[in-house]
């Protein structure tokens, strides 16, 4: 009876350790993602402000259309690149959050 209690207690401790490591990984990755989104938002705002200044300084309609087209192209490319980067950060987050449970699940799985 005492052996079963010790096994359950050890299993609970291992589960808690894995959960805490997972929460640590989630917290760290969440901060990284938030920082990346903040940086992108700042860059995007600055780029749009510069484009607007150039647009207001345009001397002709053709030049204004060219400025707008260039801005739209770079903004789209930047968005796609940032979405890819954020996606990779989320993939890394999932891997890091699951990593503490890999060994735990391997130990808990019944032998075949």
Each residue's pLDDT, cut to its tens digit, for the chain (112 residues) gives 567 777 777 777 877 888 888 888 888 898 999 999 999 999 999 999 999 999 999 999 999 999 999 999 999 999 999 999 999 999 998 888 888 778 767 766 665 5
Are 70 and 13 a contacting pair, CB within 8 Å? Answer: no
Q: Which residue has the tokens 């890999």?
A: 102
**pTM of the shown model:** 0.73
Are 86 and 36 a contacting pair, CB within 8 Å? Answer: yes
Q: Identify whether 25 is part of a domain.
A: no
Structure tokens at 50: 């510069």
Range of the domain at 80: 37-101
Q: Identify whether 71 is part of a domain.
A: yes
Q: Identify whether 82 is part of a domain.
A: yes
Task: Name the domain count of the chain.
Answer: 1
Q: Identify whether 11 is part of a domain.
A: no
Q: Identify whether 1 is part of a domain.
A: no
């Amino acid at each position: 009876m005492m052996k079963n209690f010790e096994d359950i207690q050890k299993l609970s401790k291992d589960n808690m350790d894995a959960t805490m490591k997972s929460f640590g990984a989630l917290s760290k990755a969440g901060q990284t993602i938030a920082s990346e989104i903040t940086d992108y938002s700042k860059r995007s705002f600055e780029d749009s402000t510069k484009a607007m200044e150039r647009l207001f300084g345009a001397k002709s309609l053709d030049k204004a259309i060219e400025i707008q087209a260039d801005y739209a192209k770079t903004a789209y490319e930047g968005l796609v690149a940032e979405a890819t980067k954020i996606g990779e950060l989320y993939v890394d987050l999932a891997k890091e959050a699951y990593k503490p449970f890999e060994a735990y699940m391997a130990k808990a799985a019944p032998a075949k």
